[in-house]
Structure 1
């Protein structure tokens, strides 16, 4: 049975582990980041459309945010985010983008500039979405819902998860997670356990954080979603 290291934060890590078990893999859950709420306040301002960049932006949002945005059209970055939007009772109209670039393009295609775009996002992020929206003449307003903290598992914690046997595969979902993995591999015996592993990444950018040697052999999902990443894993 192939042993697969899952590095994403909870509760997503356990959700992924359950999917891996159903697929016949042995998951090794070692979150390298965690998300925490920021408890933002939301002022009453004009809102034409809402953009949501992660399920965490829904998971950590206070009810006041949902109340303020009720009925507004919501564009989610992907299907998992879209499902979180639906469960929160918001008006999901699109969850097919897959990444920030395409999310901005889909909003721009649906709304004439200047549209007032309320973006529910994390404090740690790339500025792609707001930059693209501004370039297209829209007026994004960012509401930082959560922060991403880096985790530094001890050597003992790593050992308790990985055990004595080599790891066959590693799933990487973010550049922050990849950076923490690189550091852990450098300072502990983890590097030896992952020496022959295949790294599965949501993007080339994530693979690049691990260094050129890994990036050359990493497998990159053809679309930035977990469904495509797990499909790649089983092929």
Structure 2
């Protein structure tokens, strides 16, 4: 049975582990980042459309945010984000983008500039969405819902998850998680157990963080979604 290391934050890590177990893999859950709420206040301002960049922007949002945006058209970055937003009572009209670049394009195609766009996002981000929206003449208002913090598991915690046997595959969902993994691989226990692993990355940007030493063992999803990442793992 192939042993697959899951590095994404909880609760997504456990959700992924469940999917892996159903697929016949042995999941090893070792989150390398965590998300924490920022408790933002949302003020009464014009809103034409809402953009949501991650399920975490829904998971950590206070009810006051949902109340303020009730009935507004919502563009979610992907299906999982869209499902989370619908469950929170938001009016999701589009969740097909897949990434921030495409999300900006889809919103711009649906709304004439200048549209007032409330963006529910994390503090740690690439600023791609708001940059694209501003370049198209729109007026994004950023509401930072959560922060992403690095985790540095102890040697004993790592051993309790990985054990002494080699890891066959590693799933990487973010550049932050990849950066943490690179640091951990400098430790003998992690580097040794991952020496022959294949690294499955959600994007080329994430793969680039790993560096040239592991480039030959990297595979990149053809679309930035977990479904495509797990499909790649199976092939």
Answer yes or no: same fold by TM over 0.5: yes
Distance between the aligned counterparts of 1:188 and 1:118, measured in 2? 46
Distance between the aligned counterparts of 1:104 and 1:214, measured in 2? 32
**Secondary structure at 1:189 match in 2:** helix
Distance between the aligned counterparts of 2:149 and 2:13, measured in 1? 15
Q: Counterparts in 2 of 1:1-235, with a 5 A limit? A: 1-235=1-235
Across the two proteins, how many residue pairs are aligned to each other?
Answer: 235
Give the superposition deviation at 1:128: 0.3
**Which range is displaced more, 121-130 or 186-195?**
186-195
Give the superposition deviation at 1:10: 0.2
For the 8 Å contact 1:155–1:188, the answer to whether it is kept is no
**Secondary structure at 1:118 match in 2:** strand
For the 8 Å contact 1:204–1:215, the answer to whether it is kept is no
Q: Taking structure 1 as the reference length, what is the TM-score of the superposition?
A: 0.99
Distance between the aligned counterparts of 1:213 and 1:185, measured in 2? 11
For the 8 Å contact 1:121–1:143, the answer to whether it is kept is yes
Give the superposition deviation at 1:189: 1.4
Unaligned runs of 5+ in 1: none
For the 8 Å contact 1:170–1:197, the answer to whether it is kept is yes
Give the superposition deviation at 1:213: 2.5
Per-residue CA deviation, residues 27-60 of structure 1 (Å, 9 max, x unaligned), is: 0000000000000000000000000000000000
Distance between the aligned counterparts of 1:188 and 1:181, measured in 2? 13
Give the superposition deviation at 1:217: 2.9
Unaligned runs of 5+ in 2: none
For the 8 Å contact 1:33–1:150, the answer to whether it is kept is yes
Aligned Cα root-mean-square deviation (Å): 0.6
Distance between the aligned counterparts of 2:194 and 2:26, measured in 1? 15
**Which range is displaced more, 181-190 or 159-168?**
181-190
**Secondary structure at 1:15 match in 2:** helix
For the 8 Å contact 1:207–1:214, the answer to whether it is kept is no
